[in-house]
Amino acid sequence: MSKLLRLAAVTLLHAALLFTTLPARADDLPDFTALVDHYASAVVSISTTGKTEPANEDRTPHDKRLPNPFEGTPFEEPFRHFFDQRPEQRTPRSTPSSIGSGFIVSADGYILTNAHVVDGAERVTVGMNDRTEHVAEVVGSDPRSDIALLKIQAKDLPTVKIGDSDALRVGQWVLAIGSPFGFESSATVGIVSAVGRSLPTDNYVPFIQTDAAVNPGNSGGPLFNRSGEVIGVNSQIYSRSGGYQGLSFAIPIKVAMNVAEQLKTRGRVARGWLGVLIQEVTPDLAKSFGLDRPRGALIGQVMDDGPGAKNGLKAGDIVLEFDGHAISRSGELPPLVGASSPGKEATLQIFRDGAQTQIKVQIGELPDDVAVNGRSAASGEAHGLGLEVTELPAEQRTQGDSGVVVREVRSGPAQSAGIRTGDVIVRVNNQAITGPAQFATVIRQLPRGKPVAVLIRRDDNALFLPLTLPE
- Distance from the Cα of residue 63 to its chain's centroid: 12
Q: What is the pLDDT of residue 136?
A: 95
Q: Is 217 annotated as a binding residue?
A: yes
**Short-list 390, 271, 424, 422, CA closest to 336:** 271
- Which amino acid belongs to residue 114? N
Q: Is 134 annotated as a binding residue?
A: no
Question: Can 116 be counted among the known catalytic residues?
Answer: yes
At residue 56 the predicted structure's pLDDT band, cuts being 50, 70 and 90, is very low
- Catalytic position from the list 45, 62, 146, 239: 146
Q: What is the pLDDT of residue 378?
A: 33
- Catalytic position from the list 219, 330, 340, 376: 219
Q: Which CATH superfamily is domain 272-365 in?
A: PDZ domain (2.30.42.10)
Q: Which CATH superfamily is domain 161-266 in?
A: Trypsin-like serine proteases (2.40.10.10)
> Do the beta carbons of residue 406 and residue 388 sit within 8 Å?
yes
Q: Is 14 annotated as a binding residue?
A: no
Residue 41 has what DSSP assignment? G
Instruction: Name which residue leads in pLDDT, 290 or 10.
Output: 290
Topology match between the domains 272-365 and 387-469: yes
Fold entry, domain 387-469: Pdz3 Domain (2.30.42)
- Catalytic position from the list 116, 179, 202, 288: 116
CA–CA separation, 173 and 169 (whole Å):
10
Q: Is 317 annotated as a binding residue?
A: no
- Say which residues have a Cβ less than 8 Å from residue 286's Cβ, sequence separation at least 6: 292, 293, 294, 295
- Say which residues have a Cβ less than 8 Å from residue 343's Cβ, sequence separation at least 6: 362, 363, 365
pTM score, two decimals?
A: 0.67
Question: Can 219 be counted among the known catalytic residues?
Answer: yes
CA–CA separation, 168 and 446 (whole Å):
47
At residue 68 the predicted structure's pLDDT band, cuts being 50, 70 and 90, is low
Domain ranges of the chain: 161-266, 272-365, 387-469
Instruction: State pLDDT tens for residues 294-349.
Output: 999 999 888 888 899 999 999 899 999 999 999 999 889 999 999 899 999 999 99
Q: Is 146 annotated as a binding residue?
A: yes
